[in-house]
């Protein structure tokens, strides 16, 4: 089995103050974030709207950390180039976002950025078995996507299953978990095999002076 990789924390800017996003990104960068998790929602694939590539482009100068862009968008293929140009380092699409996942992932890879695939809570891990050679990240959703601040759905068996699928590839694929992550649920998902934790509410609570402490609490 490949050596375990250290746990990385990806604060979701969905929970940031949208009126000062640049400042918020600088604050979580300084507080020790590993990735900056950017939730793009289209009001169609998920029942909520956030922002698009122009906002990501404006945020790019505020941090050198990995921009981890989670596209909750369908259809998605026509937007990939825009997010690459805006400065995304990882582009994650949903398994459920269209009938041609393999082609979508090929398209992301053709831009020389990392490709991720995300699974809604009800989508079985086996549905991505035949694209594992194309992905750099698998994102297991532990809430139904669309909103921050929801309760964690304990899909620990699915996380463990994806961990096995990743280990079988012998490639360094991130196993990211997103939704309802707190210091308590973090412990459980890490034990199940996760190595990147997305957290919105748990990082941004209590204001900027608490971000470093909040991030640290998720790691330990």
In angstroms, rounded to a whole number, what is the distance separating the alpha carbons of residues 121 and 140?
7
Of these partners, ligand DX5, Zn ion, none, which one is at the site of residue 50 (CB under 5 to 8 Å by kind)? none
CB neighbour class for 93 (10 Å; exposed up to 12, middle 13-18, buried from 19)? buried
Contact 18, 25 (CB under 8 A): no
- Residue 89, CB-side half-sphere exposure with 13 Å CA sphere: 12
Q: Min. distance of Cβ 69 from ligand DX5 in angstroms? A: 11
Does 39 qualify as catalytic in the annotation? yes
Is 34 or 178 the residue whose CB approaches Zn ion more closely?
178
In angstroms, rounded to a whole number, what is the distance separating the alpha carbons of residues 37 and 14?
8
Positions that interact with Zn ion (CB under 5 A):
39, 70, 178
Is 29 or 167 the residue whose CB approaches Zn ion more closely?
29
Binding mask 126-165 toward ligand DX5 (x if CB under 6 A, else -) reads -----------------x-xxxxxx---------------
Decide: is 15 part of the binding site for ligand DX5 (CB under 6 A): yes
Site for ligand DX5 in 164-203 (CB under 6 A): 178-181, 198-202
Is 110 or 122 the residue whose CB approaches Zn ion more closely?
122
The radius of gyration of the chain from alpha carbons, rounded to an integer in Å, stands at: 16
* Cα torsion 21, 143, 32, 1: sign: negative
Active site residues: 39, 178
């Amino acid at each position: 089995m490949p050596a375990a990789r250290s746990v990385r924390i990806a604060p979701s800017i969905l929970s940031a103050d949208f009126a000062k996003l640049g400042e918020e990104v600088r604050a979580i960068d300084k507080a020790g974030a590993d990735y900056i998790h950017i939730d793009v929602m289209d009001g169609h694939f998920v029942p909520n709207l956030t922002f698009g590539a122009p906002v990501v482009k404006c945020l790019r100068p505020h941090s050198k950390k990995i921009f981890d862009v989670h596209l909750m968008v369908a259809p998605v293929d026509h937007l990939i180039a825009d997010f690459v140009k805006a400065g995304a380092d990882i582009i994650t699409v949903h398994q459920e976002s269209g009938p041609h996942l393999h082609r979508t992932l090929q398209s992301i890879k053709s831009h020389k950025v990392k490709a991720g695939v995300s699974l809604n809570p009800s989508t079985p891990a086996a549905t991505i078995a035949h694209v594992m050679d194309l992905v750099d990240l698998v994102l297991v959703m532990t809430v139904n996507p669309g909103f921050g601040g929801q309760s964690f759905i304990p899909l620990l068996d699915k996380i463990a299953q994806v961990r096995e699928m990743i280990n079988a590839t012998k490639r360094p694929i991130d196993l990211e978990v997103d939704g309802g992550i707190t210091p308590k649920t973090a412990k459980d998902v890490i034990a199940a095999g996760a190595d990147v934790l997305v957290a919105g509410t748990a990082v941004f609570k209590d204001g900027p002076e608490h971000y470093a402490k909040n991030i640290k609490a998720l790691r330990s």
